C-alpha cells in the first residue's frame, strides 16, 4: 500500500463514524457479558423476558395478553379459572365465544388466532395450534407457536399464558416463544423497550413457582446460546468467547481447564492447532467439569444408571471462511453460526449445573474454539496432520475442519475422562438439511438405545432429531488414503455424507471406550441452528431433555 492510500485508510479508521462504531461494539460487548451473568435481565436487548406467574391485576389497557395452546385447552382454561372473571377483566363468557371461533384442532392449515379487545382493557389474542403432528414432530407444534407469537411483534408489555395440555409440552412451548426475542442487536437507532412475561399452566392449573424458576434458566440459556452465535466474529473471536465462558461459569462449583495457542501443538491437539493456527486469535480447548463424584465414575451401559460421567463436546468455529478451500461470497455469509454447537453446550451446561439438573451424574463440557481463517500458515490440501487420537489425516478439504477439532475433543474425552456417554454437537455438514430438513437435526449413534433416547428427547424438547444410518463398515472406506491413516473428506459426495462425517469423529474414540460399549451420539444441527438470519439456540433444550430422559426423570414433574 502506498503512503497516500495508507494515510487515507488510517484517516478512515480514525473517523468519527468509525470511532462511534467501535465504541458501540465495546459497549455492546460489556453489556453482553453482563447479560450472561444474569438469569433474567437482558441489558443489551430491547426486550426483557421473564418466566414467572402473574395475575390479571397486572394487566391494563396497554397490555397485550396472548393465550396459547390447543383450542380445547384454551377453552378449559377460560371456563375453569377465574383469571378472566376477576380484577376488572370480567370477560370469560365473551372470551369463550371467541375461543369457539378458532380453527378446529385437526386443521391442517396451521395455527389460528382471534383478537378480543374492549376500550380501556387489555388487548387479548387467543392462539390455537393444530394437533396435526407426525410421529417425527413435537406433538404441541412449537413451529406454529413461534409463528403465532411472531405476528404480534415487539410490545412494551406483553404477557403470554402458555396452556399445556400435557406437562411434557411445557418445555417446547416455552422455547418456541423465547425464540422470538433474540438478544443481540447492533442497530444504531435506539430500540423501543419491551417486556415479555410468560406464565405456565397445565390445563387450568398454574404450575408451581419452582417450575417457573427452572424454565427461566432454560429460557435464558436458549437466548444466550443464540446471542453467542448472532454476535459476529469481529466481536466474538476466540479470545472474547473465552472471556464469555469465564463470566458465565463464574461462581459455579466446577473445574475449568484451558489449553491455548501453541500449547495445543505441544500437547498433541493436531486438529485444534492446525485448523486455528492461521487466525489472528488462536484456538482454545476448554474443559468444564462438574464432578460431584470425582473424575473416575463407574462405567454403566444401561439407561438410568447410577452416578456416571457424561461428556458433551461442542464445535466452536467462531468463523469459517473455508480456509484455503475458500467459500463463495454467498456460501460464506452466516458462517458466524459455525460455533452453534459449542454455544448450545456451554449454556446448557451452565443451566444444568445452576438448576441442579445433572441428577448426580458427572457432567463435563468440552468446547473446541477456533477460527478457520486464511493466511500464510493456513492448513493446506495435501498436508498430513496428527490428531489427539494418534491418527494421521491427509487433508483433502480444508473446509472440512469441524470434524478435525471435534475429533480432538472426543479423543481427549474417551482417553482421559472415563465417560459413560459422549455427545458431540456440531454444525458439521450442509448435507444435514437435505437429510432431515431445516428444523430437525440429524443424529448418528453407535447404540440403538441411545438413538431412541435422543429421538424421544428431541420430541419432548421441541429440538427434534432423526437418525441417519450407522454403517461404518460401508462408509469409512470413503476416507482411505495412500499416505495417511485417513483423509478428512469423503471422496464420493453421494455416500450418506451426514453419517460419513459423523463416523470420522467416531473413528477417533479411544479403543478402550468402544470396547466396553461406551455410548456415542453425534448431533448435526447445521440447519436448525439458524433460521433466516437469526440464531435459534437450537440444542440447549435437547441436551437438557436428554439428561432427563437418560436419568428417567420428567422435565416438569
Distance (Å, whole) CA 74 – CA 69: 6
Catalytic residue among 315, 403, 459, 487: 403
Question: Percent of the chain at pLDDT above 70?
Answer: 88
Catalytic residue among 121, 195, 327, 534: 327
Distance (Å, whole) CA 244 – CA 230: 14
Strand 123-129 relative to strand 205-206: parallel, antiparallel, unpaired? unpaired
Q: Mean of the pLDDT values across residues 68-86?
A: 88
Q: Mean of the pLDDT values across residues 257-275?
A: 98
One-character DSSP codes across 182-218: ------SSPPPPEEEEEEEEETTEEPPHHHHHHHHHH
Q: Mean of the pLDDT values across residues 42-56?
A: 78
At residue 13, the pLDDT reads 39
Pick the more confident residue, 37 or 328: 328
For the chain, what percentages of helix, strand and coil (3-state, to nearest 5) are there? 40, 20, 40
At residue 109, the pLDDT reads 72
* Residue 128 and residue 113 in contact, taking contact as beta carbons nearer than 8 Å: yes
Q: Mean of the pLDDT values across residues 25-43?
A: 46
Distance (Å, whole) CA 400 – CA 407: 12
The dihedral sign for the CA sequence 164, 167, 172, 177:
positive
Of 100-114, 231-245, 428-442, minimum mean pLDDT range: 100-114
Confidence of residue 93 (pLDDT cuts 50, 70, 90): confident
Pick the more confident residue, 90 or 253: 253
At residue 120, the pLDDT reads 87
Distance (Å, whole) CA 140 – CA 458: 13
Q: pTM of the full predicted structure?
A: 0.91
At residue 248, the pLDDT reads 97
* Residue 139 and residue 465 in contact, taking contact as beta carbons nearer than 8 Å: no
- 546-555 pLDDT, tens digit per residue, is 999 999 999 9
* 3-class secondary structure, 132: coil
Q: Mean of the pLDDT values across residues 221-231?
A: 98
Residue 315: exposed, middle, or buried by beta-carbon count in 10 A (0-12, 13-18, 19+)? buried
Distance (Å, whole) CA 132 – CA 142: 12
At residue 106, the pLDDT reads 79
Confidence of residue 36 (pLDDT cuts 50, 70, 90): very low
* 3-class secondary structure, 51: strand
Confidence of residue 160 (pLDDT cuts 50, 70, 90): very high
> Which contacts qualify for 81-85: CB closer than 8 Å, 24 or more apart?
81/204, 83/55, 83/56, 83/161, 84/56
**Does the pLDDT at position 39 exceed 60?**
no
Domains and CATH numbers, the chain: 47-207 (3.40.50.10590), 224-525 (3.40.630.10)
Give the residue among 348, 262, 361 at the shortest CA–CA distance from 306: 361
Q: Mean of the pLDDT values across residues 152-162?
A: 90
Q: Mean of the pLDDT values across residues 503-516?
A: 95
- 374-384 pLDDT, tens digit per residue, is 999 999 999 99
Helix (H) or strand (E) holding 65: strand 64-70
Distance (Å, whole) CA 378 – CA 13: 27
The set of cell numbers assigned to 340 is: 452453534
The set of cell numbers assigned to 262 is: 501453541
Confidence of residue 241 (pLDDT cuts 50, 70, 90): very high
Can you give the three-state secondary structure of 315-373, one letter per residue? EEEEEECCCCCCCCHHHHCCHHHHHHHHHHHHHHHHHHHHCCCCCCCEEEEEEEEEEEC
Confidence of residue 94 (pLDDT cuts 50, 70, 90): confident
What letter would DSSP give residue 169?
Answer: G
Q: Mean of the pLDDT values across residues 251-277?
A: 97
The dihedral sign for the CA sequence 517, 518, 519, 525:
negative
**Does the pLDDT at position 400 exceed 90?**
yes
At residue 293, the pLDDT reads 67
Torsion of CA 184, 188, 189, 193, to 10 degrees: 20
- 283-330 pLDDT, tens digit per residue, is 999 999 998 866 544 434 344 445 689 999 999 999 999 999 999 999
At residue 281, the pLDDT reads 98
Q: Is 327 a catalytic residue?
A: yes
Of 13-27, 234-248, 472-486, minimum mean pLDDT range: 13-27
> Which contacts qualify for 349-354: CB closer than 8 Å, 24 or more apart?
349/288, 349/290, 349/312, 350/221, 350/248, 350/249, 350/252, 351/217, 351/218, 351/220, 351/221, 351/540, 351/544, 352/290, 352/543, 352/544, 352/547, 353/252, 353/253, 353/254, 353/290, 354/39, 354/217, 354/252
Pick the more confident residue, 30 or 80: 80
Q: Is 403 a catalytic residue?
A: yes
Strand 309-320 relative to strand 112-116: parallel, antiparallel, unpaired? unpaired
Question: Percent of the chain at pLDDT above 90?
Answer: 77
At residue 470, the pLDDT reads 98
Confidence of residue 17 (pLDDT cuts 50, 70, 90): very low
Strand 530-531 relative to strand 534-535: parallel, antiparallel, unpaired? antiparallel
Of 37-46, 344-353, 509-518, 523-532, minimum mean pLDDT range: 37-46
At residue 30, the pLDDT reads 54
* Residue 331 and residue 295 in contact, taking contact as beta carbons nearer than 8 Å: no
Amino acid at each position: 500500500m502506498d503512503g497516500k492510500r495508507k494515510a487515507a485508510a488510517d484517516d478512515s479508521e480514525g473517523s468519527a463514524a468509525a470511532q462511534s462504531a467501535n465504541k458501540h461494539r465495546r459497549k455492546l460487548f460489556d453489556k453482553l457479558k453482563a447479560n450472561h451473568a444474569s438469569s433474567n435481565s437482558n441489558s443489551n436487548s430491547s426486550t426483557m423476558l421473564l418466566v414467572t406467574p402473574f395475575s390479571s391485576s397486572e394487566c391494563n389497557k396497554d397490555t397485550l395478553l396472548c393465550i396459547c395452546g390447543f383450542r380445547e385447552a384454551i377453552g378449559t382454561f377460560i371456563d375453569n379459572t377465574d383469571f378472566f372473571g376477576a380484577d376488572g377483566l370480567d370477560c370469560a363468557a365473551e372470551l369463550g365465544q371467541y375461543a369457539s371461533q378458532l380453527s378446529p384442532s385437526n386443521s391442517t392449515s396451521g395455527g389460528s388466532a382471534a383478537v378480543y379487545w374492549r376500550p380501556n382493557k387489555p388487548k387479548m389474542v387467543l392462539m390455537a395450534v393444530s394437533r396435526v403432528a407426525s410421529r417425527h414432530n413435537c406433538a404441541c407444534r412449537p413451529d406454529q407457536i413461534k409463528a403465532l407469537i411472531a405476528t404480534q411483534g415487539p410490545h412494551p408489555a406483553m404477557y403470554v399464558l402458555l396452556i399445556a395440555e400435557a406437562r411434557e409440552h411445557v418445555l417446547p412451548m416455552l422455547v418456541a416463544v423465547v425464540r422470538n426475542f433474540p438478544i443481540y442487536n447492533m442497530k444504531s437507532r435506539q430500540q423501543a423497550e419491551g417486556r415479555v412475561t410468560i406464565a405456565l399452566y397445565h390445563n387450568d392449573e398454574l404450575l408451581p413457582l419452582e417450575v417457573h424458576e427452572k424454565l427461566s434458566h432454560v429460557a435464558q440459556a436458549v437466548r444466550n446460546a443464540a446471542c453467542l452465535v448472532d454476535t459476529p466474529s469481529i466481536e466474538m473471536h476466540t479470545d472474547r468467547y473465552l472471556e464469555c465462558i469465564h463470566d458465565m461459569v463464574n461462581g459455579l462449583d466446577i473445574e475449568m481447564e484451558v489449553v491455548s495457542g501453541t500449547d495445543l501443538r505441544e500437547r498433541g491437539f493436531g486438529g485444534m492447532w492446525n485448523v486455528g493456527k492461521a487466525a489472528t486469535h488462536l484456538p482454545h480447548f476448554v474443559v468444564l467439569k462438574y464432578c460431584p463424584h470425582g473424575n473416575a465414575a463407574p462405567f454403566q451401559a444401561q439407561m438410568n444408571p447410577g452416578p456416571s460421567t457424561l461428556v458433551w463436546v461442542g464445535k466452536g468455529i467462531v468463523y469459517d471462511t473455508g480456509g484455503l478451500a475458500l467459500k463463495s461470497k454467498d456460501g460464506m455469509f452466516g458462517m458466524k453460526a459455525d460455533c452453534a454447537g459449542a454455544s448450545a453446550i456451554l449454556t446448557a451446561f451452565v443451566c444444568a449445573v445452576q438448576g441442579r439438573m445433572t441428577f448426580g451424574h458427572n457432567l463435563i463440557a468440552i468446547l473446541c474454539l477456533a477460527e478457520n481463517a486464511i493466511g500464510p500458515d493456513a492448513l493446506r490440501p495435501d498436508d498430513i496432520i496428527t490428531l489427539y487420537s494418534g491418527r494421521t489425516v491427509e487433508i483433502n478439504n480444508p473446509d472440512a475442519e469441524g470434524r478435525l477439532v471435534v475429533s480432538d475433543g472426543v479423543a481427549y474425552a474417551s482417553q482421559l475422562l472415563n465417560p459413560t456417554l459422549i455427545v458431540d454437537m456440531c454444525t458439521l455438514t450442509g448435507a444435514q438439511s437435505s437429510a432431515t430438513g431445516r428444523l430437525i437435526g440429524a443424529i448418528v449413534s453407535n447404540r440403538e438405545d441411545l438413538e431412541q433416547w435422543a429421538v424421544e428427547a428431541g420430541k419432548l424438547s421441541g429440538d427434534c432429531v432423526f437418525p441417519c444410518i450407522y454403517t461404518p463398515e460401508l462408509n469409512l472406506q470413503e476416507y482411505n488414503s495412500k499416505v495417511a491413516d485417513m483423509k478428512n473428506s469423503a471422496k464420493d459426495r453421494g455416500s450418506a455424507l451426514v453419517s460419513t462425517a459423523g463416523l470420522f469423529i467416531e473413528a477417533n474414540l479411544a479403543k478402550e471406550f468402544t470396547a466396553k460399549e461406551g455410548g456415542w451420539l453425534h448431533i448435526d444441527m447445521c440447519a436448525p441452528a439458524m433460521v433466516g438470519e437469526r440464531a435459534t439456540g437450537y440444542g440447549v433444550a435437547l441436551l437438557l431433555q436428554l439428561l432427563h430422559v437418560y436419568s428417567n426423570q420428567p422435565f416438569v414433574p
